Amino acid sequence: MDGDFKYVGQKRRVKEDRRFITGRGRYAADLRLPGMLHVAMVPSPYACAEIKGVDASAALAMPGVRYVLTGDELFEHINPLLSGLDLPHVKRVPLAHCRARYAGEWVCAVVAETRAIAEDAAELVEIDYDMLDHVIDPEEAIKPEAPLVHPEHGSNVLFDKTWTWGAVDEDFAAAAHSIEYRARWSRCSTIPIETFAVTASWDPGREVLDVWASIQMPKYPEQIARGLRMPVNAVNVHFDIDVGGSYGLKRGIRQTIIVGYLSRVLRAPVRFIEDRLENLSGGEMHGPDRIFDIEMAYDDDATIRSIRIHATDDAGCYPGRAPLQLGKPVSAIVGPYRIGSAQYRAMSVTTNKTSQEAVRGFGQAPTNFAIETGIDKIARTLGLDRDEVRRRNMVRADEFPWRIPSGSEYDSGDYHTVLDKVMKAAGWDDLLARRDALRAEGKLAGLGLSTCLEPSGGNSSFEPLFNPKNDTTTWMEACLIKVDMLGGVTATINTSTSGQGHETLVSVAVGETLGIDPDKIRAIHAESLDALPSNSPVGSRMAIMLGGAAAGAAKKIKQKMIDIAAHNFQLPSDRLVYEDGDVFVDGEPDRKMTWFEIVDIAHRKYHDMPLGSEPGLQANFTWEVPTGGALPAEDGTVQMYPCYAFEAHIPLVTIDRDTGQVEIHDYFIGHDCGTVINPDIVRGMTLGGIAHGIGAALYEKFEYDRETGQLLAGSFMDYLLPSSHEVPSVEIVKHSTPSPLTEFGQKGSGESGYLGAPAGVASAVNDALEPLGLHLDTLPMRVRDIERLINGRET
């Protein structure tokens, strides 16, 4: 399993890049259908208001306008959208129904012959609002006097549950010390450069709704069908649309329901491309917005005995899948550490802000940041080196598989070696010396350290954990491989791709298993009507699951070829050897059947096939996530994600004490994701993840005005993404502890960099502030926040 691969791990150009460099990507907005109509949304100007009436007459009178859809009309014809929580009284709707609950919420959808006309008409829709009180801050929302976002639910608390795993109270009592602190991860997300775009086209002849969308969503066709009250096999999602970045966010089910409904009513293709204003304020693509109150119990030697985490998360207005982002971190609730007991209180709160959606890591990055903040505090309090505290607490290489108090088993790892390697490559002592020299010059300089896990594989048992009525344990992925009559190999991807290089992944996985050059293997995206089941690229699962499914299908092909050859040699199959597509008799390399000969028999010479066998040469394999299939126990323990990647971040920063600006000078990361299938893809994920992490740590916040409830960061002038000037060059130091659970030993890497960078940058900034006796435990640490911390008390 480890080491000796022919194609896995080799440098190889990513197939998908070929179309991107020539401008031939096929994104949802590139598609044009005859008679296509365009949608623009009418947003609510108010954070909370009763909708008394809608007068669309002036809009409808405008030439080129075809329809104005209200929330009331849509509500009558659809099923409300699903939530990950059990909330019978909280209805999630694509267009505001009776009440607008956040500033920017889409109230009407205007349909016209061009987008420009739709926008012109949208300005003419008159809506009569009765303003109501709103609540923006989650801690305010919990108070009894707070205005209710969903009055029928009776409170603004959507979920509040505490699990206690192990002897937490006893461990706290027995420990020499404890610390208590608050860490705040402000509302941000991995907003992509492409907004959500969807075209739906109802074909009354076939009675099929075709959908082309910029999508990354589990069970998307199913949720479309459910929402529109159609059979699933009346929906055909075209997964071959290139998605311009998603990182979790592109769950545009509301947008899709709207255009799907409109297409059926208007019997024409209907397209909605969010403009950037719609996207940021009403696209429901904000991420975790979380307050952590944490206690850690530890001894004089820094051994951490127990941890209590109270996580309050502001889900915004409509809880879809996002509140489950409180659940996924249960899979690594103690980080990479041997902490023996843990208590976790997860509270999901609703406010009059746009809804939260899944973000890369599904809650793990904020949780890692919160835990790592405590590790550094313990080190400071005890006067120990930060790496030493981590060494003393990290799970040791000889202790895997390691079961954590919440029930997940960490499959494999060697955290100490990765830390050693990156500290050596970074020249830790030299960096400290550089830091100290900068300090001697009067500058603020800091060296950061974070050690974090990336749970991967997508065993999403937080679903039944957070909602026992949703007793589900199936998270599968599939692949169909066809070897055609002339010996070409085609493999299917049954979901969408948003930059992860799945075509390259599949061709390498199949090529490795069949011993064939991956460049000769074609990987295609299916349409949902002929797709096999998939749970889509979430939870850093595709290298594991799609790689596993592709390898599994390839193994069946391989076996069938062996069996055909065996039949023709009149020998038992175990006397034959398969190598690089040819099959020969063991010990007699001249007695061989070639790939093409076997393929020809399979397709054309049934008389030479084993008795009763299926003609042709095709196989599919559907794979359940390894370690999956068990519901949570009474106490909430359950195995979540199967494979655990590890990363250690070392940034060196300086801070301009007069302006609060942070500059990252050097950045090193040690990364272990087991076997790497394609080095360039994994490297890109890590570097991009660090860029996301720098954004979350220093620049990005969806700021709302408490008084008015308005989103203040509603364009790219105010929501600031890191550019090439803000993201430094990063040196990646690799290590590999393969997973025993996967085909090639691969673990996920789709969230790498992001899961540890905010913690690493925060560690560096706080190291820089330490000589001033200051610290900052709220992200983002913007120039204004740092400057005020340093200089603000004087004025």
Among 2, 3, 30, 631, binds other proteins (CB under 8 A): 30
Torsion-angle region of 674 (φ positive above 0: left; ψ -120 to 50: alpha; else: beta): left
Among 58, 61, 116, 485, binds other proteins (CB under 8 A): 116
- Using CB under 8 A as the binding rule, whether residue 336 contacts other proteins is answered as no
Among 4, 21, 145, 587, binds other proteins (CB under 8 A): 21
- Using CB under 8 A as the binding rule, whether residue 192 contacts other proteins is answered as yes
Instruction: Find out whether 702 and 713 touch, Cβ atoms under 8 Å.
Output: yes
Distance CA 748, CA 332 (A): 15
Residue 224, classed as helix, strand or coil, is helix
**Which residues inside 675-714 make contact with other proteins, applying CB under 8 A?**
680-681, 683-685, 687-692, 699, 703, 712-713
Stretch of 253-261, 336-344, 400-408, 492-500 lying at the interface with other proteins (CB under 8 A) = 492-500
Compute the half-sphere exposure of residue 677: CA atoms within 13 Å on the CB side of its CA. Answer: 36
Stretch of 237-245, 377-385, 453-461, 560-568 lying at the interface with other proteins (CB under 8 A) = 237-245
Q: What is the 3-state secondary structure (H, E, C) of 263-296?
A: HHHHCCCEEEECCHHHHHHHCCCECCCEEEEEEE
Q: Which is nearer to other proteins, 607 or 725 (CB)?
A: 725
Instruction: Find out whether 459 and 475 touch, Cβ atoms under 8 Å.
Output: yes
Q: Which is nearer to other proteins, 193 or 611 (CB)?
A: 193
Helix, strand, coil shares of the chain as percentages rounded to 5?
A: 30, 25, 45
- Using CB under 8 A as the binding rule, whether residue 779 contacts other proteins is answered as no
Nearest to 336 by CA among 412, 448, 226: 412
Among 89, 469, 607, 725, binds other proteins (CB under 8 A): 725
Q: Which is nearer to other proteins, 413 or 660 (CB)?
A: 660
Among 57, 381, 559, 715, binds other proteins (CB under 8 A): 715
**Which residues inside 271-330 make contact with other proteins, applying CB under 8 A?**
273, 275-277
Instruction: Find out whether 508 and 502 touch, Cβ atoms under 8 Å.
Output: no
Q: Which is nearer to other proteins, 14 or 382 (CB)?
A: 14
Nearest to 215 by CA among 545, 495, 534: 495
Among 115, 161, 219, 380, binds other proteins (CB under 8 A): 115
Length of the chain: 795
Stretch of 236-244, 345-353, 607-615, 646-654 lying at the interface with other proteins (CB under 8 A) = 236-244
Nearest to 102 by CA among 247, 373, 272, 314: 314
- Using CB under 8 A as the binding rule, whether residue 589 contacts other proteins is answered as no
- Using CB under 8 A as the binding rule, whether residue 503 contacts other proteins is answered as no
Stretch of 245-253, 256-264, 300-308, 610-618 lying at the interface with other proteins (CB under 8 A) = 245-253
- Using CB under 8 A as the binding rule, whether residue 242 contacts other proteins is answered as yes
Distance CA 750, CA 501 (A): 11
- Using CB under 8 A as the binding rule, whether residue 791 contacts other proteins is answered as yes
Among 63, 144, 193, 205, binds other proteins (CB under 8 A): 193
**In sequence order, what are the beta bridge partners of 452?**
647
**Which residues inside 253-282 make contact with other proteins, applying CB under 8 A?**
273, 275-277
Among 340, 413, 722, 758, binds other proteins (CB under 8 A): 722
CB of 59 to other proteins, least distance (A): 15
Per rule CB under 8 A, count of chain residues that contact other proteins: 83
- Using CB under 8 A as the binding rule, whether residue 792 contacts other proteins is answered as yes
Q: Which is nearer to other proteins, 44 or 406 (CB)?
A: 44
**Which residues inside 32-91 make contact with other proteins, applying CB under 8 A?**
32
Distance CA 487, CA 484 (A): 5
Q: Which is nearer to other proteins, 644 or 699 (CB)?
A: 699
Distance CA 606, CA 602 (A): 7
Stretch of 184-192, 307-315, 430-438, 570-578 lying at the interface with other proteins (CB under 8 A) = 184-192
**Which residues inside 641-670 make contact with other proteins, applying CB under 8 A?**
658-661
Among 119, 140, 385, 608, binds other proteins (CB under 8 A): 119
- Using CB under 8 A as the binding rule, whether residue 474 contacts other proteins is answered as no
- Using CB under 8 A as the binding rule, whether residue 721 contacts other proteins is answered as yes
Distance CA 306, CA 342 (A): 6
Contacts of 664 (CB under 8 A, 6+ apart): 651, 652, 653, 694, 728, 761, 764
Stretch of 29-37, 199-207, 593-601, 625-633 lying at the interface with other proteins (CB under 8 A) = 29-37
- Using CB under 8 A as the binding rule, whether residue 718 contacts other proteins is answered as yes
**Which residues inside 421-440 make contact with other proteins, applying CB under 8 A?**
none
Tokens found for residue 418: 């990765």
Strands 476-483 and 618-624, bridge-based pairing:
antiparallel
Nearest to 268 by CA among 201, 207, 197, 199: 201
Tokens found for residue 277: 């204003």
**Helical axes 679-694 vs 757-769, angle rounded to 10°:** 50
Cα–Cα distance list, 446 to 19, 391, 756, 768 (Å): 43, 20, 17, 4
Q: Which is nearer to other proteins, 559 or 791 (CB)?
A: 791
